Amino acid sequence: MPIPGSPPDPVPERPVSPEEMRAWAALLETTAIVQHAADRRLRTAVGMPAAQFEILARIFEGPKEGLRMTEIADRLVVSPSGLTYQVTRLVERGLLERGTSAEDERVVLARITDAGRSVVAQGVPQYVDVVTTMLLDHLTSNDLTTLADILEGVRGQLRSAPLRPRRSGASRSTKRR
Amino acid sequence: MPIPGSPPDPVPERPVSPEEMRAWAALLETTAIVQHAADRRLRTAVGMPAAQFEILARIFEGPKEGLRMTEIADRLVVSPSGLTYQVTRLVERGLLERGTSAEDERVVLARITDAGRSVVAQGVPQYVDVVTTMLLDHLTSNDLTTLADILEGVRGQLRSAPLRPRRSGASRSTKRR
DNA sequence: CGCATGTGTTTCACATTCGAAACACCTTCG
DNA sequence: CGAAGGTGTTTCGAATGTGAAACACATGCG
């Protein structure tokens, strides 16, 4: 609990336009709705939460040797401990195998099994259907390109600046077509 | 657990372009990163998770009588039970009060207290700073408008079609400026 | 070599989340 | 009126997610 009387810890003031808040609010709400829907769909379709399915899918796409725990956690934006939990679930179901890296004994590689591949094959159409129906179908291909460009640009910046981004750089932005 | 041997439950096939997947993946990852950062910031700044702060902020913005539980849950895309949990936390801290609606005795109204208003006042700059620095600063005002338009359009559609959207309507889309 | 330090992962305790069932009040209709 | 069915909220039990501490291996340096 923060001390109630402590100094308000000032922050670089910067007026935010309503336009900006609209954008952020819409972003949050839209992704939340679609994610929830995808989660429910996957639970009934392949009997696992979206969180687990996404892990499986990432490893499926990756190299045959498997992926490092840390890499997966970074990509999916979950804590290391949270990832351990889900991977353990998936191993219990025989969809993943744990292995240790040859070069670095500390590293755990998560490798997908045939059963795992089968689940991914079953789930992907379901997942895609939800995202397509709820989101993609409502966008023009122009919208899509714009979205992808904008967000990938931002994501790139964020990857390199985890928590407290540099104060330096000014707004670099995506060009509109 | 779904029966392993049951029919794969076919889904309307529809090829998805890599462009579309790029857009969705970027959307997911970007919002997740920013949300996590905002959460950490709020925890240290005002001693509560972003989930709680957002509830408080919504009620702050709303009418003086307070907001119905259901309304808040819908807006923030959380389950009713999840909302009850968080509101209880906030009431314990004296930041919210529960009241019953005069017209409908079933309805619970969550009303903000002065202490609650004070917390919102403290937290908003922090929250805004994170979203601004990590996301908004990287976008042009043109990008912002586009994003808001696109996503608000989609959100509107989703609001009316909670889980399984109608198969009817075709892609209506946002015009680019 | 042998410790001090760093990195990758898991364990542990606890906070949060959800769905299903329970409750409470409203509304409709016989 | 009074039971039947709806809607709004909470309770309950179980699954998930997190940070801090514990572990285990790696690396650098005296």
- Whether B89 shows a pLDDT value over 90: the answer reads yes
Q: How far: A86 CA to D22 C1' (Å)?
A: 20
Give the model's confidence band at A38: pLDDT under 50 very low, under 70 low, under 90 confident, else very high. very high
Distance B177 CA to C17 C1' (A): 41
Q: Please report where in the chains the tokens 């769909």 appear, as a residue.
A: A41
pLDDT at A164 over 70: no
- Closest to A119 (Cα-Cα) out of A90, A145, A89, A99: A90
CB-CB contact of B137 with A11 (8 Å): no
Structure tokens at A64: 């045959």
pLDDT tier at A11, thresholds 50, 70, 90: low
Q: How far apart are CA B40 and CA A29, in angstroms?
A: 20
Give chain A positions within 8 Å (CB) of B30.
151, 154-155, 158
Average pLDDT over residues B153-159: 76
> Residue B131: its chain A contacts at CB < 8 A?
24
Interface with B, mutate which of A143, A146, A167 (most B CBs under 10 A): A143
Which strands make up the sheet holding B67-68, listed edge to edge?
Answer: B67-68, B108-112, B96-100
pLDDT of residue A5: 44
Q: Quickly state the pLDDT bin for B160 (edges 50, 70, 90).
A: low
Q: What own/partner pairs with CB < 8 Å and gap ≥ 24 does A76-85 have?
A: A76/A51, A77/B29, A77/B32, A77/B33, A77/B36, A78/A51, A83/A55
Does the CB of B104 sit below 7 A from strand C? Answer: yes
Asked if residue A9 lies in contact with residue B134, where contact means CB atoms within 8 angstroms, the answer is no
pLDDT at A176 over 90: no
Kindly state the percentage of chain B with pLDDT values over 70.
Answer: 82
Quote the pLDDT of residue B161: 54
Find the mean pLDDT for residues A37-45: 94
Least confident of A99-108, B22-31, B42-51: B22-31
- Residue B37's pLDDT band, with cuts at 50, 70 and 90, is very high
Give the least confident one: A74-78, A135-139, B38-42.
Answer: A135-139
Mean pLDDT of chain A: 83
Work out the percent of chain A whose per-residue pLDDT is above 90: 57
Look at residue B11 in the predicted model and tell me its pLDDT.
Answer: 66
Using CA of residue A17, residue A18, residue A19, residue A24, what is the dihedral sign?
A: positive
A-chain CB neighbours of B47 within 8 Å are 1-2
Torsion angle (degrees, nearest 10) of CA A17, B31, B75, A23: 30
Contacts of A169 by beta carbon, 8 Å cutoff, 6+ apart = A157
Q: Within 97-126 of chain A, which residues have Cβ less than 7 Å from strand C? A: 98, 104, 106-109
> What is the Cα–Cα distance from B38 to B43, expressed in whole angstroms?
9
Instruction: Name the least confident of A148-152, B6-10, B52-56, B66-70.
Output: B6-10
- Quick one: tokens of A86? 């889900």
More confident residue, A78 or B166: A78
Name the residue of chain A whose CA is nearest to B145's CA. Answer: A19
pLDDT value at residue A9:
53
CB pairs under 8 A between A and B: 203
**Reported confidence tier of residue B9, pLDDT bands at 50, 70, 90:** low
CA–C1' span, A105 to C15, in Å? 33
Residue A124 · residue B10 · CB < 8 Å: no
SS3 content of chain B, % helix, strand, coil (to 5): 60, 5, 35
User: Between vectors from CA A110 to CA A109 and to CA A112, what angle results, nearest 5°?
Assistant: 135
From B30-44, B145-159, B163-177, the region with the lowest mean pLDDT: B163-177
Nucleotide nearest A52 (Cα, C1') = D16
Residue B1 has pLDDT above 80, yes or no: no
A120 contact residues in B (CB cutoff 8 A): none
Find which nucleotide's C1' atom is closest to A82's CA.
Answer: D17
| Residues A50-96: tens digit of each pLDDT | 999 999 999 999 999 999 999 999 999 999 999 999 999 999 999 99
**Measured from the CB, is B107 under 7 Å from any atom of strand D?**
yes
Distance B140 CA to C22 C1' (A): 52
Is the separation of the CB atoms in A41 and A129 below 8 Å?
A: yes
For residues A147 and B147, the answer to whether their CB atoms sit within 8 Å is yes
Q: What mean pLDDT is predicted for residues B15-27?
A: 82
